[in-house]
Amino acid sequence: MTDTIPSFFVYGEPEQQLEPGFFHVETVMARRALHQGEVKAHKHDQMGQITFWLSGRGTYFIDDRPLDFSAPAVSFVPSGIVHGFSVDPQTSDAVVVSVADEALLSIRENTTLALDRPTMIRGDGKDRDWCRLAELLEIVADEYAGGAAGTQQMLASLVAAVLTQIARLASAMSVGQQTEAALATELRRLIDVHFRENWTVGKYTDALATTPHLIAKASRDAFGMQVKELINERRLLEAKRLLLFTVRPLEDIAYEIGFADPAYFSRFFRLRVGEAPSDWRRARVSSSAG
């Protein structure tokens, strides 16, 4: 099966031989035209990647593990590991730092993060340690863009610091936070499966064998919203996908995402997006065609 999974240089570009000290830094949405927020399963056979989500929310998967997140979140994926994600391209973005395996060999001696297995954590953008990580990655991006003498040596030191900061954040997660994160992940999975069926919050609570307080806290801490809002966000995301990538009429799309009344769907969409679904579709299709 792994033979059918594409291996890229950077996303969408065929593999090529890397220089031993290769580094590459860019944002996820710099390649939006290639993926529109849906990056399918792929791998990089010669380099590891750090991905720091600056904004938005979505689902990131590493091998067979789906990981729901709300920014800020960060991951490190070693070479050869299958990964991808699904996010709203209008509201989400991340900085991606790619590092050749040979460069990681020397960096390994200067960081406390295990570089032979993937790591992903979510956090609080106001937390001092997460702010420090954001600052370090901003310096990495500036150094890469500047291209001054000694850039590769500087990037090696900065990336080692970034990886160590990720290790610190990972070790700081308490058992309670890990349990809450697991509950949030399972909630998001159930919403993906059942959002069309108009499940109540109580039904999700029962299905997860938890309490209203715990499910509300898990949703608020992981995604920044209450469970009902999370369900509506998922319905809205599906509506946008169907409007943008299919020619199905509004009535069919309304039924598909769980609305018995197309007029109510239009009000739901307008309230959250600021324009009617037909107008939103027309503008986006015209824009992409241009």
Instruction: Give the CATH number, domain containing residue 147.
Output: 2.60.120.280
Residue with tokens 């929310």: 57
∠ CA 112-115-116 to the nearest 5 degrees? 135
CA distance 67 to 112: 23
Structurally, the chain folds into a number of domains equal to 2
Which of 132, 157, 173 is the endpoint of a domain? 173
Judge if 148 and 234 occupy the same domain.
no
Q: Which domain holds residue 231?
A: 176-289
Phi, psi of 41 (to 5 degrees): -55, 130
Name the domain boundary from 143, 173, 203: 173
Q: Within this chain, do residues 31 and 169 fall inside the same structural domain, yes or no?
A: yes
User: What is the reported pTM?
Assistant: 0.69
- The pLDDT value given to residue 253: 95
The more confident residue out of 2 and 220 is 220
Lowest mean per-residue pLDDT among 136-140, 175-179, 186-190, 269-273:
175-179
Q: How confident is the model at residue 178 (pLDDT cuts 50, 70, 90)?
A: low
Same domain? 197 vs 148: no
**Could you report the per-residue pLDDT of 49-93, keeping only the tens digit for each?**
999 999 998 888 888 777 888 899 999 999 999 999 999 989 999
135 and 258, same domain (yes or no): no
Nearest to 278 by CA among 251, 260, 258: 251
Confidence class for position 157, pLDDT limits 50, 70, 90: very high
- Please give the pLDDT value at position 175: 59
Q: How confident is the model over 24-44, as a mean pLDDT?
A: 92
Mean of pLDDT values over 134-158: 95
Mean pLDDT of 161-177: 85
Domain final residue, candidates 173, 208, 241: 173
> Which of the residue ranges 5-9, 23-27, 145-149 would you say has the lowest mean pLDDT?
5-9
Give the percent of the chain with pLDDT over 70.
Answer: 95
Whether the Cβ atoms of residue 215 and residue 205 lie closer than 8 Å to each other: yes
Whether residues 190 and 163 share a domain: the answer is: no
CATH code of residue 278: 1.10.10.60
253-282: pLDDT as tens digits: 999 999 999 999 999 999 999 999 999 999
Residue 181 and residue 159 share a domain: no
Q: What is the pLDDT of residue 1?
A: 36
Determine the average pLDDT of the residues in 214-229: 91
Contact 60, 111 (CB under 8 A): no
63 and 185, same domain (yes or no): no
185 shares its domain with 96: no
Of 17-21, 110-114, 135-139, where does mean pLDDT reach its minimum?
A: 17-21
- Work out the pLDDT band at 124, boundaries 50, 70, 90: confident
Residue 69 near residue 125, CB atoms below 8 Å: no
> Are 191 and 230 spatial neighbours (Cβ–Cβ below 8 Å)?
yes
Do 95 and 201 belong to one domain?
Answer: no
Q: What is the pLDDT of residue 161?
A: 98
Residue 136: per-residue pLDDT: 97
**pLDDT at residue 174, rounded to an integer:** 60
pLDDT score for 98: 97
Residues 116 and 188 occupy one common structural domain:
no
Residue 24 has pLDDT above 60, yes or no: yes
Q: What pLDDT does 209 receive? A: 87
Task: Identify which has the larger pLDDT, 67 or 110.
Answer: 110
What mean pLDDT is predicted for residues 211-224? 90
Q: What is the mean pLDDT of the chain?
A: 90
Whether 240 and 279 share a structural domain: yes
CA distance 241 to 88: 9
Q: Are residues 95 and 203 in the same domain?
A: no
